């Protein structure tokens, strides 16, 4: 059994890591930390786990992590993670970091997008961007994996085939995302108060969302050209789920849906968590997070809009699973040489 620690276990991502790892037969969670809740039972914060674990939160202590763990998940807020990760790595542990602190290769991008000077830029080149569909082999050997952002995951998986095949204008890419409330974390504010958050269709960070930086980085790498992405997220009335609608303009106006099937299938062949959803019959015709809640799937679908010379790509994930904890466990499996799907073979719930 591999012993893992979870640093920052009281948030929603920490809770999901615990939930998933409880059913993972090669891994044992030996430590879960929370400054705020140290000494409390985990199930008081994550009531779904009542009866499933008697663990308590402990305070963060690198020595204790070093003695009790082989690998550590860090689920701390952006900016708090970098130094902690650096100290854990020094003890020889492997780390999967769920913050944004190691996702970007170029330290200057942190100054531009995060208004933050990276405290350990030398680690950025060591870190592997933890999107298995694009970086599977690098992840296997990584000591530090930077788990992608939830919106970034949905957007990159949607756009990578089109960029790789040079099918769209790379400087006119629009990602219009719709997202559930769990993506905002577990801290209540007036904006997340049920009476205020229920029923909303609420845009935010209209012109400058931080996930753009990692999306452009990854797409530029796969496309070997400059890419410009405009992203606007919208809070909608559900708890889990992201749908990213990617509006792109085709280079060749004669593109067909058949060709799109080919490029998507080609890039994601052998990827157990990517499903292509484009159907003319049945209850579901295009991706919708409703049909994958509780699973690690990313559902991708597309349409060609001849009127406006667009390709529209839809990408749906459960933001806490493929967008965070599930993808982290997928990375863990790869790092440990296990089957990529271990602990993640859970069919989605329907209806939900």
Is residue 351 involved in binding its own copies (CB under 8 A)?
A: yes
- What is the C-alpha separation between 278 and 172, in angstroms, rounded? 24
Is residue 336 involved in binding its own copies (CB under 8 A)?
A: no
- What is the C-alpha separation between 21 and 313, in angstroms, rounded? 32
- What is the C-alpha separation between 78 and 5, in angstroms, rounded? 19
CB of 96 to its own copies, least distance (A): 20
Q: CB under 8 A: which stretch of 19-27, 57-65, 97-105, 133-141 binds its own copies? A: 19-27
Is residue 258 involved in binding its own copies (CB under 8 A)?
A: no
CB of 67 to its own copies, least distance (A): 28
Instruction: Select the residue interacting with its own copies from 69, 96, 316, 328 (CB under 8 A).
Output: 316
Phi, psi (degrees; rounded to nearest 5) at 238: -155, 165
Is residue 228 involved in binding its own copies (CB under 8 A)?
A: yes
Is residue 203 involved in binding its own copies (CB under 8 A)?
A: yes
Residue 314: alpha-carbon gap to chain centroid: 16
CB neighbour burial string for 136-162, b if at least 16 within 10 angstroms, e if fewer? eeebeebebbbbbbbbbbbbbbbbbbb
Nearer to its own copies, 23 or 54 (CB): 23
Nearer to its own copies, 144 or 264 (CB): 264
Q: CB under 8 A: which stretch of 25-33, 45-53, 62-70, 91-99 binds its own copies? A: 45-53
- What is the C-alpha separation between 5 and 196, in angstroms, rounded? 36
Instruction: Select the residue interacting with its own copies from 2, 3, 43, 105 (CB under 8 A).
Output: 43
Is residue 26 involved in binding its own copies (CB under 8 A)?
A: no
Instruction: Select the residue interacting with its own copies from 1, 23, 38, 265 (CB under 8 A).
Output: 23
DSSP string, 94-116: EEEE-SSTTT-S-HHHHHHHHS-
Is residue 287 involved in binding its own copies (CB under 8 A)?
A: yes
Nearer to its own copies, 219 or 335 (CB): 219
For the question of residue 298 being annotated catalytic, the response is no
Edge-to-edge strands of the sheet including 144-146?
Answer: 27-33, 2-7, 71-74, 94-97, 144-146, 128-129
Active-site positions? Answer: 150
């Amino acid at each position: 059994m591999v012993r893992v620690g979870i640093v920052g276990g009281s948030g929603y991502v920490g809770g999901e890591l615990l939930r998933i790892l409880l059913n993972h037969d090669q891994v044992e969670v030996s430590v879960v930390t929370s400054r705020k809740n140290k000494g409390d039972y985990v199930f008081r914060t994550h009531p779904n786990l009542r009866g499933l674990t008697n663990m308590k939160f402990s305070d963060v202590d690198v020595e204790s992590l070093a003695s009790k763990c082989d690998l550590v998940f860090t689920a701390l807020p952006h900016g708090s993670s970098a130094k902690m990760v650096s100290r854990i790595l020094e003890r020889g542990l492997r780390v999967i970091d769920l913050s944004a602190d190691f996702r970007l290769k170029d330290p200057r991008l942190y100054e531009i997008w995060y208004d933050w000077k990276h405290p350990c830029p030398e680690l950025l080149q060591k870190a592997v961007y933890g999107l298995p569909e694009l970086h599977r082999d690098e992840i296997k050997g990584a000591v530090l994996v930077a788990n992608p952002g939830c919106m970034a995951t949905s957007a990159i998986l949607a756009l990578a085939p089109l960029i790789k095949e040079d099918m769209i204008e790379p400087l006119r890419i629009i990602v219009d995302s719709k997202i559930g409330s769990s993506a905002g974390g577990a801290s209540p504010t007036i904006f997340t108060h049920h009476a205020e958050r229920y029923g909303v269709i609420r845009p935010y960070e209209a012109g400058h969302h931080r996930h753009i930086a990692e999306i452009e980085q990854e797409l530029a790498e796969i496309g070997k050209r400059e890419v410009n992405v405009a992203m606007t997220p919208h809070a909608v009335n559900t708890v889990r789920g992201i749908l990213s609608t990617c509006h792109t303009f085709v280079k060749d106006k004669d593109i067909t849906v058949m060709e799109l099937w080919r490029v998507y299938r080609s890039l994601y062949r052998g990827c157990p968590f990517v499903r292509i959803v484009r159907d003319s019959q049945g209850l579901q015709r295009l991706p919708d997070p409703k049909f994958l809640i509780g699973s690690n799937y990313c559902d991708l679908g597309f349409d060609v809009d001849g009127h406006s010379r667009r390709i529209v790509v839809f990408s749906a994930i459960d933001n806490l699973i493929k967008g965070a904890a599930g993808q982290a466990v997928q990375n863990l499996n790869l790092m440990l040489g296990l089957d990529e799907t271990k602990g993640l073979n859970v069919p989605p719930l329907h209806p939900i």
